[in-house]
Amino acid sequence: MNFFPESNSNIGLEIDNLFWIITGVVGIATVITLFLFIYPMVTRSKKRSKIERYMVDFTHRNRIWLYTGMFLLLMGDLYILVKEHSIWQRVEQELPEADFKIAIVGKQWMWDIIYPGPDGKLYTDDDVNAINELHLPVDKVIHMDLKAMDVVHSVFLPQSRFKQDVLPGRTITRWIKLNKEGTFDITCAEICGIGHSAMRGVLIAESDKKWKESLEKIYGIKK
């Protein structure tokens, strides 16, 4: 059984695995903590023991249990940090050379996709705008300039395990590399007004040949 949307990016499975690692470590710690709370209440209730029991001294045995628990929890946290660091480094700290660059502008309540025109350069006179429809090639590094026109939005590509808040007056450059063809969701993950739930678009991941054909059709819109 798959608990997540199908992954279509080069880091999707790694992020899913990281989620399960965090869930496992936190889940085990939660179960142990609940046991330590509940077990004394059951075994030391007034019905079972009329003698009040207090900890009058912090014994060597108590210290062993305390330090063992702290050590295991610390090891779990360090394991999460080690697994997370490599993903964070590649996604947030490195910006690989782009094969293609686009801009996505969030506005109430649509996604304005800005494609570079036939000259291949973004922010020139031949740029082309498309609403709520993003065509990208697979196996290519895509740079995305993310912006907001009016209020705070959040670009969320669930199948790509990608989410980025965007703010008015600020451009945030992120990158993505898709590895699966298909039609996927673009949604807004930040409440942005009465039409928030309708702020949806489609990400169409295509082979390089089909993507170039799609670009030609998009350029035709401008003509």
The predicted-structure confidence for 30-70, as pLDDT tens digits, reads as follows 998 898 888 877 776 666 656 666 666 777 887 888 888 88
- pTM of the predicted structure, to 2 decimals: 0.80
What domains appear along the chain, each with residue ranges and CATH number? Answer: 12-93 (no CATH), 100-222 (2.60.40.420)
The whole-number average pLDDT for the span 19-26 is 91
pLDDT at 109 (0 to 100): 92
Cis status of the peptide bond prior to 65, with omega within 30 of 0: no
- Beta-strand pair 133-137/141-148: unpaired
Tell me the C-alpha distance between 120 and 22, whole Å: 42
Q: Facing residues of 145 across strands?
A: 103, 173
Exposure pattern of 192-211 as b/e (b: 16+ CB <10 Å)?
beeebeebebebbbbeeeeb
Lowest mean pLDDT among 45-59, 141-155, 204-218: 45-59
Report CA torsion sign: 159, 161, 166, 172: negative
Is the pLDDT confidence value at 19 over 70? Answer: yes
